[in-house]
Structures are given as structure tokens and as C-alpha cells.
Amino acid sequence: MRYLFLLFCLGLQAQDYKDGISIVQFSAEFTKSSEISLKPYKSYNTHLFYMSKNSKIFDKNKIVYIPTICIYNDGELVRKIEAGINLKLPEDTNDIIKEEIDNILNNQF
């Protein structure tokens, strides 16, 4: 019975990273220098997943390039920002994130 409860709780936790307006960064330890800080978005649902610790989440979200930023609104993917072969996110990544958040907020009314 405890095992089933634990699986149920883990399942709930695994989905909450997409709740509300979410900014999720998928990365790997060796690309830490290419990551962006999610601190400016702390008023939203932010998560950082590493390939070595969260491979199932990478597979489920079809993450091919690292780092990758996914912006979700209530579980729906709004935008995926991927690094190229150089393992670096575009220089305007923060601008793209802010623009998408503004679009989400403007469309809520």
C-alpha cells in the first residue's frame, strides 16, 4: 500500500512542473555555463531538470538539444527554445521568454 501511495505522489509531483505559467529548463551538468538563470521568473512555476537525473522527463517532452527552455501555460507547450549544435541558447532567450509571458497574460483577459 505504501508503494502505491509513493507512486501516486511521484506522479502528481511529475506533472506540477507544467502548472500555470511554467518556464522549464532542460539541461545537463556539462552545459551549466550555457544555462540561463530562472531567478527573474521566480513568480512563475520554474524548474531545472538535468538529463542524468530526469531522463524520463526528457523523453516524455521530446528534448533533443540541451539546454532547452520550454514555456508552458496550464500544461500546454507555448514555446520551445532550443540550443543549437553549439550547446548555447540564443542570445535573446530572456527576451523571448518575457514576450511569451506577456502574450499569455494578455490573452487571459
- The yes-or-no verdict on residue 47 having pLDDT over 80 is yes
User: Which domains does the chain possess?
Assistant: 17-107 (3.40.30.10)
pLDDT at 62: 93
pLDDT at 60: 93
Residue found by looking up cell 512542473 in the block = 17
0.85 surpassed by pTM: no
Cell output for 67: 539546454
Residue found by looking up cell 556539462 in the block = 30
- The yes-or-no verdict on residue 2 having pLDDT over 50 is no
Tens of pLDDT, residue by residue over 51-105, are 999 999 999 999 999 999 999 999 999 999 999 889 999 999 999 999 999 999 9
d(CA 76, CA 98): 17
pLDDT at 15: 57
Is residue 47 exposed (0-12), middle (13-18) or buried (19+ Cβ within 10 Å)?
middle
Is residue 73 exposed (0-12), middle (13-18) or buried (19+ Cβ within 10 Å)?
buried
* Whether 65 contacts 81, CB under 8 Å: no
Top pLDDT among 15 and 17 is at 17
Phi, then psi, of 45 in degrees rounded to 5 = -85, 105
